Each structure stands twice: as C-alpha cells, then as structure tokens.
C-alpha cells in the first residue's frame, strides 16, 4: 500500500497537462475559394493519398461543404483522365 501511494505521487510530479491539438482550418474557406475546379490538377493532388484515394476531412481539415465539392471535382478529373484512379506502382502489374 505504501509503494502504491509513493509511486502515484512520483508519476504525477512530472506530468504535463494535456492540451488538445489545434483544429485544422479549411484552406478553401480561408482563401475564399467557393468553386473547386476539376482542371486544377496540382491543387487536387494535395487531397489525394499516394495510392490515389481521397483524403478524409479530419486529415485535410476541410469543411463539409468544400469536401463534397472537392470529391466531385476529383471524380470529374479522374473521369477525364487528368488524375489517376490508382497509383502508378499498382497499375504497372495489372
């Protein structure tokens, strides 16, 4: 019992208070971008993973409105072959 009490006081001394991470802000809201254009391939690539998947909102920090518009623009760019559906190393072996 004595060890438990001593151990708990020692571990609390060096503890820091938990500070939650800052919430990411929507890049498009900050820049005032209202329309996401499917022809801006380099901009859209920042929202794709290395395998070609669309990054989720909690990773990119975009708001819901812009995330939906972004997904539509990426899908249109894929349909017109401006962006790949999959990564290059996956397509090579099929």
| pLDDT tens per residue, range 75-85 | 999 999 999 99
Statement: the pTM of the whole predicted model exceeds 0.75: no
Residue 12 lies in a domain: no
Q: Is residue 7 part of a domain?
A: no
pLDDT in tens, 3-30: 555 555 555 666 778 888 887 889 999 9
Phi, psi (5° rounding) for residue 50?
-65, -25
Q: What is the rounded distance in angstroms from the CA atom of residue 77 to the CA atom of residue 43?
A: 12
Kindly report the CATH number assigned to the domain that includes residue 86.
4.10.640.10
Residue 40 domain-assigned?
Answer: yes
Is 18 inside any structural domain?
no
Residue 9 falls inside a structural domain? no
Residue 13 lies in a domain: no
Q: What are phi and psi of 12, to 5 degrees?
A: -80, -20
Whether residue 45 is contained in a domain is answered as yes
d(CA 42, CA 83) in angstroms, rounded, equals 10
Q: What is the mean pLDDT of residues 32-45?
A: 94
Q: Cα separations (Å) of 77 from 19, 68, 70?
A: 40, 14, 10
Beta bridge partners of residue 54, listed in sequence order: 48
How many domains does the chain contain in total? 1
């Amino acid at each position: 019992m004595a060890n438990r009490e001593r151990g708990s006081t020692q571990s609390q001394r060096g503890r820091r208070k938990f500070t939650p991470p800052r919430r990411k802000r929507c890049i498009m809201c900050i820049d005032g971008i209202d329309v996401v254009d499917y022809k801006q391939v380099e901009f859209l690539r920042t929202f794709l993973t290395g395998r070609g998947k669309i990054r989720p909102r909690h990773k990119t920090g975009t708001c819901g409105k812009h995330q939906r518009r972004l997904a539509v623009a990426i899908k249109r760019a894929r349909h017109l072959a401006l962006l790949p559906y999959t990564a290059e190393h996956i397509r090579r072996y099929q």
